[in-house]
A and B are shown apart, each in its own frame.
Chain A
Amino acid sequence: MKAFVRDTVAITGKELKQLRRDPVSLVLTIIFPILLIGIFIVIVSAFRATTHNVPIVVADLDGTPASNALLNQLTQSRFVHVTQLVQTEDQAYQAVANGQAIGAIVIPQGFGVALASGDAFVIVATDNSKLTSSQFVTAAVNDGAQALVNQATQEGGVSFGLKLAPIEVITRPLSGRPPTGDPILPGFLGMIAILGGFDDIVNAISRERERGTFPRLALSPVSLLAVYSGKMSATVVLTILRTALMLLIFTLYGLVIRGSLLLIFLTTILMAIFTLSVGLTISSRIRGSATLTVLEIAMTFPLFTLAGTFNSPLLLAPGGTAIADSLPWTYGNDALRRLIYLGSGFSAVAGDLAILLIGSLILLPIAILLSKRTM
């Protein structure tokens, strides 16, 4: 046992020494997290921007004070920018069809009269190939209409046949945090653990095979179990470093980490070990390091969608949810979100951690066996 531990430590030391000598891998370990957070900031800052200036055209076919009031609301909107006032409905639609505007708003003739009886409507045509922008157009019209309703209610004397929505929904998030894009951040930590695990397997096995040093290592007086154990220990050390770096970036970004740091580290380590097992299984069939890396990257991108990295897996189509439920990574991402965002304790994530552990315990011996046979 003592010899096994000594050999494992020696192999771990060798792996880390090799990484230190490979500046590309070393830089990658640092650059990946920073790049990911950079991308997150770009996207969040776009969503959080105070003004959006989505170009729209408006056709006011009514020309009454009521339609003017709505037009005023639209021109003051922080979502849209009225680029043109057109005379006809067709001109408005044409502007959208030609790509001159993302939305066209038509205030029909009789709007003012209908408003008094509570039957008013406006027509909103959007270029729905621009997914986010078209939603901003609809939101601007909704806000404008709601503001019109509120204004009429406040003025009281106005004889508009308007009413407020009968029921207001007041939302209270469990975390008590303001609504932001931050719940995605724990998913990024999971992403780093997965990508890091895949990269480690490429470094640990495939590149060693290419250099021809793997058979030598296997023939050395070190047990094969100690070799794999050492390589796995190196991944554990690297995962701890990557997790620490990500948590530091999260903190600098302003995310308050509520849960136990120990449990967060444990979750990322289990995710990395499971990834290592998958990578080891694949590497027994695909031997080139570059090919293996491309394959793993190609596999991980769709996996991110299905394993709940960016969106809750509960919102996927039924087939997607079933796949998500069968992927141990989903449970890892879920546990990270609960730990970091909600501050849940061990009991809340024990099931998730158990699934990751069982997944690794099943896959790892198979992976080692396959890897030995193809050595």
Chain B
Amino acid sequence: MSIKIFLSDSIAVAENEFRQFRRNRSAILISLVVLPFFFTAALGAGQGGAGSTYSPTARIPIAWVDNDNSLASVRLWQTLATSPDFRNLVEGYTEQGALAQLGTKRIYAVIVVPKGFQNDLESGNQARILLYTDDSEPGMSDQIESTLTSYTQNFDPNVEVQPYLSQLQRQSVAGVGIVTKGATFAGFNIGLTTVLAIVQIFAGFYEIAGGMSREREEGTYARLLVSPVPIGSIMLGKTLFDILLSVIRTFTVLGLSVYGYGARPNTDILTLLALSLIIALVTMGIGFVVAALKMGQRAVVIIEFFLILFLFAFSGLIIDSNLLVGVSQVISYLLPFTYAFDALKRTVLLGRPLLSLTYDLEYMIGSIIASYVIAFVLLHFSRERLIR
């Protein structure tokens, strides 16, 4: 068969996919609107825009109980109350009264300055303050403790107005300054690398595996398989269709991120598009394998859900993959998406050129080839069985 016929068949399959897609309003809504918009907007709401900064502890109501009533304790209160991190310090509580309110959602932490605070500081001893926290709020206790410690470890009771401390100074341990280098990134930019990949994975898998299982349930799949169109053309046609949707999704996520939330990816648009499409192709390959295993639509959706959960656990989204232990680290290293997230972080955040990420690219392209070959073989056997 000539390459021309192969390509024309592929284009015919792609056209058919588009026609079906155009007729399905729900599919358009999910693929091109809900997934890219909802995920990006949720990221923006959770992290704030890339240009904006906020202190997580600033608005949390925290009770201030001063049992020392000394100049030093007042200065500590001034330091915290005028800082951008503790804007909601609530005064007027007794220690017992404040502790009774903890856990009722009126206050989430209590800072207690005990008697003898100033004496300890004057005599050169280490003074202590107590921090009671509502630890039922995940992550909040650690956040308040680390922010409070950053102010107290450099506190000078002899200074009336404490100098404003930079992030660098706050990180320093008394006596040894720690100068941090290396770019820091806005939470939104970090989240963008996740959202871009997750949107492609979510949509790509459902469009390929879900689409083919739907065809099977409608009865058109067998007809397509026994038609004179080669399996390669069917796969290429469906891939072309999904690549176009992936391009639209990539631009939607990036457009909303850049113009809506001020994201500044540290790389060019072509690199982002190329990576996004590679991730889409990895997903499509897995989607073809699942589809070739003759799964129903419900099974496809369930696998998709498990796949996403798997990614969160093992692909370095919550914790870096190099920190995972035992079998989980092996799973992480086997998953092609681990390399996809790594490549996205290195390009979007660090500005590394795409071609310098040879190992990540090799692994992803290798898995694309492997999954397409497996799917081709499985589909070929399906066709043989149908013809016989």
Q: Which of A's residues lie within 8 Å of B, judged by CB? A: 24, 28, 35-36, 38-39, 42-43, 45-47, 49, 52, 54, 93, 96, 99, 102, 115, 118-134, 136, 138, 141-142, 145-146, 148-149, 160-175, 177, 179, 181, 183-184, 186-187, 286-291, 293-295, 297-299, 301-303, 305-306, 308, 310-312, 314-321, 323, 334, 337-338, 341-342, 344, 348
Contacts and interface: CB of A to CB of B under 8 A. Distances in A.
Given A121-B178, A168-B127, A323-B45, A128 B136 contact: no
Contact of B320 (A28, A133, A289): A133
Interface in B174-199: 174-185, 190, 198
Given A145-B173, A167-B126, A290 B214 contact: yes
B177 A122 contact: yes
A331 B27 CA distance: 32
Interface in B341-388: 345-346, 349-350
Contacts of A102: 322
Contacts of B302: 24, 28
B136 A341 contact: yes
Contacts of B142: 179
A132 B131 CA distance: 25
Contact of B152 (A54, A169, A294): A169
B324 A42 contact: yes
Given A290-B301, A298-B34, A315-B56, A342 B178 contact: no
A174 B190 CA distance: 32
B180 A167 contact: no
Nearest to A66: B176
B320 A183 contact: no
Given A167-B127, A169-B148, A318-B59, A295 B30 contact: yes
A312 B137 contact: yes
B9 to A, nearest CB: 28
A125 B181 contact: yes
Nearest to B144: A171
B35 to A, nearest CB: 6
The 3 closest A-B pairs by CB, nearest first: A302-B42, A121-B177, A317-B48
A137 B323 CA distance: 12
Given A49-B325, A165-B153, A298-B35, A319 B181 contact: no
Interface stretch (B234-242, B271-279, B304-312): B304-312
A187 B139 CA distance: 13
Interface residues of B, number: 102
9 contacts: A38-B313, A133-B320, A134-B182, A138-B171, A165-B149, A172-B132, A294-B304, A312-B138, A312-B140
B127 A337 contact: no
Interface string B136-163: 1111111101001100111111000000
B301 A293 contact: yes
Interface stretch (B100-108, B222-230, B249-257, B283-291): B100-108
A122 B30 CA distance: 51
Contacts of B320: 130-133
Nearest to A111: B176
Interface string B289-303: 000000001111110
B297 A183 contact: no
Contact of B129 (A35, A119, A167, A318): A167
Given A165-B126, A168-B126, A295 B44 contact: no
A43 B179 CA distance: 30
Contacts of B322: 54, 102, 130, 133
A177 to B, nearest CB: 7
A184 B138 contact: yes
A61 to B, nearest CB: 13
Contacts of B46: 305-306, 316-317, 320
B337 interface: no
A148 to B, nearest CB: 7
A162 B301 contact: no
Contacts of A171: 131-133, 141, 145
B319 to A, nearest CB: 5
Given A167-B126, A169-B152, A171-B141, A149 B48 contact: no
Contacts of A126: 180-182
B210 A290 contact: yes
B172 interface: yes
Interface string B37-73: 0110111111110001010100110000000000000
A79 to B, nearest CB: 10
A183 B136 contact: yes
B132 A174 contact: yes
Given A129-B345, A317-B45, A317-B46, A297 B136 contact: no
A28 B301 CA distance: 12
B8 interface: no
A169 B198 CA distance: 40
Residue of A45, A166, A295, A341 with most partner-chain B CB within 10 A? A166
A30 to B, nearest CB: 13
Nearest to B35: A298
Residue of B128, B138, B178, B297 with most partner-chain A CB within 10 A? B138
B348 to A, nearest CB: 9
B178 A141 contact: yes
B312 A175 contact: no
A317 B179 CA distance: 27
A146 B45 contact: no
A181 B318 CA distance: 13
Given A129-B350, A133-B320, A169-B152, A344 B103 contact: yes
B102 A174 contact: yes
Contact of B121 (A52, A131, A166, A169): A166
Contacts of A119: 177
B39 A138 contact: no
Contacts of B131: 169-172
Contacts of B141: 171, 173, 179
B314 A142 contact: no
B313 A42 contact: yes
A177 B135 contact: yes
B130 interface: yes
B133 A320 contact: no
B134 interface: yes
A298 B54 CA distance: 27
Contacts of A184: 138
Given A120-B177, A146-B173, A342-B103, A128 B185 contact: yes
A174 B42 contact: no
B301 A294 contact: yes
B83 interface: no
B20 interface: no
